[in-house]
Chains A and B, each alone.
Chain A
Amino acid sequence: MASVATMLSARRGRGKADWTDWVSYGYLLLGLLLMFGPVLWLVLSSFKSAAALNEFPPHFLPYGQKSVAVAGHETPLPLYRVTLPDGATRELAEVRRIGIQATLVDPNAPDREYKVNIRDRKPVRDLQFATGNYSEIFAKFSFGTYLWNSVFITVVATLITLLFNAMAAFALSKYRFGGRDAVFLLIISTLMIPPTIILVPNFLVVSELGLLNSLWGVIWPAVATPTGVFILRQYMLTIPDELIDAARMDHASEWRIFWRIILPLSAPALAVLAIFSVMWRWNDFLWLLIVLSPTEKFTLQLALNAFQGELTTQWHYLLAMTVVTLLPVTLVFAFLQKYITTGIASAGVK
């Protein structure tokens, strides 16, 4: 108990490594395996052919049976390691198989045929990355449409979110108009009203506005984020009022002040909100499930959900689609990890 406690209460800054350090590293390595392992497995599996995916137990890497071109045959023939009756083993290409008897030839000397029992031959395998999974999801399904819908919603909603939230944050941080504090409270209080509790009435509003089955029916309800107003307002409070007064002396209009002074100076906070907004909109699911029903309006998330119900036998496509969907988020994370984690730690939102 005491030694566990040592591990729990230890702080940075001690010199020598003791066994609690090893326990810590063990825990972290286990975490690494558990957190990244399934994702790595998904990515590796997405490069396997349909045949390789059906193997049980599965191989870690995408192995496939090697095949060779043999003179006199149009298609490449599968290669086997054969144990001949005299005990020698050779790599031979299979020409045909009848019952339990297989006929094979030497790829370099295809004239002589060997007939062996199928138990005496084992497939020769090598690494084969089935990149076709990726090209075929664009050719066989409207994957490009889903990708476009996701990108459209994410980009447009994020731009509108940045504009509307920045405008509200500007008003709430730089003007003293009657009712300002009430407006701020009203906006922030919507943090406590998650969309899950107003699904039915929101469906009515969106259909009355004629936005059902339209990407705008996803975009408009999402753009007035209280989180964004909050982050931006806190940041704009730190911008000195003297800058605004100086601009007013030069007869700049209020809109020009907002556009030319406030927006550029709020760039760091806008960047944080932009990252959040991209994540939120890219990953949205339940509301889209309700609003977008025709398949040509599907986003990547909706398409994945629909395919995993239908294509249970076509995992090679589903896996490739999943990898394409997680790729943008992974890239954003790889490059902006520091900003995301510090942004979350300070704002307490995700």
Chain B
Amino acid sequence: MNSARHPLLELPAAAGRAALNAVDAPMRVVQRLLGVPRIGWMFVAPNLVILGLFTFLPIVVNFYFAFTGGVQLYPSERPFTGFENLETLFECESYLDPSSCRKDLFWRAIYNTGEFALLQVGLMVAFALVTALVLNRKILGRGFFRGVFFYPVLLSPVVVALIWKWVLQREGVLNAVLAGAGASPIGWLSDASWAFFWCVFVSIWAHMGFYTLILLAGLQAIPADLYEAAEMDGASPWRRFSRITLPLLMPNLIVVLVLGLIRAVQIFDEVFVLTGGGPGSATTFIVQFIYQTGFAEAIHQYGLAAAASLVLALSLLVLTVLQLRLTRKSLAGGRGRDDG
């Protein structure tokens, strides 16, 4: 760095020196006690303490909640009830008919989540693939268009929901377009089927760019000479796509599919703001059921919410094992969460 330092940098630089010196003295003591390689424990300690408190301990405590009842939060005040919470969730005359279940909202949420995940991920990956193929062509403004499709990924789910709520509301611009074409307005968010459709649509709109980016990276990793050789051998465009592009892109497609499913079964934020789970329970998904049961309703049924969390955790476990099996890249891929 140059010797002439900008005055604005003086303050952070001084703060940095102060932090270094303040921590250095105790760390020297620790270093003398532990020795050099073992001081590594000192460096990982803050991360491990946080993970222990807010991830590993909660995993264990979640089981405790799932097997105890009552409305108290503190574990010592909760009576042990065994499998009662799980039995309550699974008490059904017919699992195919949510209204025959004791907790019909839970089963509606499960069916909604399954339907949503399959539809949303299927359509999203299809659109992401087409978009990636188009962006992989020699076109003007590639970087710009890549940015266009990626931009919504960065918006907060609440903002995404409000953007579309404003478009879809009864006197919104979409109904104005309909009215201009002579059609009568539609309650996009008050009709059950349309509300479900828009949850799928908005969720694709918000997340597609991320998957497009991964598929585009996969496409660009395919060597160009494969296509040149195939072209010289007179392979048809369709054949080049199905015999070169698809097989070589398959690992990326699998990652994108499973990752999309892991995210989709946890859908909550956008939908909660867009429809609030309604109309009725048409767009209530599993995380919203957990949130409502445990926190939003007047009586906080922590046990039931924890039991429902176990069901969600089990489905995520299945998907994760599937991902590891299919990609065989062990844990190093580092994919699966979108919040840290």
Contact = CB atoms under 8 A, between A and B. Distances in A.
Contacts, number: 356
B62 to A, nearest CB: 5
Interface residues of A, number: 126
Given A164-B47, A187-B51, A205-B58, A341 B295 contact: no
Interface string A45-88: 10000000010111000000000000000000000000000000
Given A205-B58, A227-B340, A42 B171 contact: no
B131 A6 contact: no
Interface residues of B, number: 119
A128 B162 CA distance: 23
Given A180-B40, A197-B62, A255 B335 contact: no
Contacts of B53: 205, 209, 220-221
A13 B56 CA distance: 52
A265 interface: no
Contacts of B167: 38, 41
B27 A254 contact: yes
Given A31-B149, A201-B58, A337-B147, A318 B162 contact: yes
B309 A198 contact: yes
B306 A201 contact: yes
Contact of A280 (B54, B287, B309, B339): B339
Contacts of A289: 291, 295
A229 interface: yes
Nearest to A322: B162
B143 to A, nearest CB: 8
The prevalent SS among residues of A at the interface is: helix
B331 A185 contact: yes
A279 B38 CA distance: 35
A45 B171 CA distance: 13
Contacts of B65: 200-201, 204
Interface in A184-211: 185-207, 209
Given A224-B50, A280-B339, A199 B155 contact: no
Interface string A256-293: 10111000000000000000010110111110011000
Given A187-B47, A350-B210, A325 B156 contact: yes
B164 A285 contact: no
B40 A42 contact: no
A322 B313 contact: no
A189 B244 CA distance: 34
Contacts of B152: 35, 39
A238 interface: no
Interface stretch (B96-104, B134-142, B187-195): B134-142
Interface centre among A58, A198, A345 (most CB of B within 10 A): A198
A53 B212 CA distance: 35
A149 B217 CA distance: 37
A286 B238 contact: no
Given A25-B139, A260-B20, A304-B273, 7 more contacts: A27-B134, A177-B38, A192-B320, A226-B337, A254-B27, A283-B156, A319-B166
**Would you list the 10 A-B pairs with minimal beta carbon distance, nearest first?**
A5-B238, A175-B40, A225-B340, A201-B61, A171-B43, A12-B138, A201-B58, A283-B156, A224-B50, A57-B176
Interface of B: 16, 19-20, 23-24, 27-28, 31, 36-44, 46-48, 50-51, 53-62, 64-65, 73-75, 130-131, 133-134, 136-139, 143, 145-159, 162-167, 171, 173, 176, 179-180, 205, 210, 213-214, 216-217, 224, 227, 236-238, 240-241, 244-245, 255, 266, 268-269, 272-273, 276, 287, 290-291, 294-295, 302, 305-306, 309-310, 312-313, 316-317, 320, 331-340
Interface of A: 1-2, 5-14, 21, 24-25, 27-28, 31-32, 34-36, 38-39, 41-42, 45, 54, 56-58, 161, 163-165, 167-168, 170-172, 174-178, 180, 183, 185-207, 209, 220-231, 253-256, 258-260, 277, 279-280, 282-286, 289-290, 301, 304-305, 308-309, 315, 318-319, 322, 325-326, 329-330, 332-333, 337-338, 340-341, 344-350
19 contacts: A6-B237, A14-B138, A25-B139, A27-B131, A35-B149, A41-B166, A164-B50, A170-B43, A175-B43, A177-B40, A191-B335, A192-B316, A193-B55, A196-B268, A199-B295, A204-B75, A221-B54, A255-B20, A322-B163
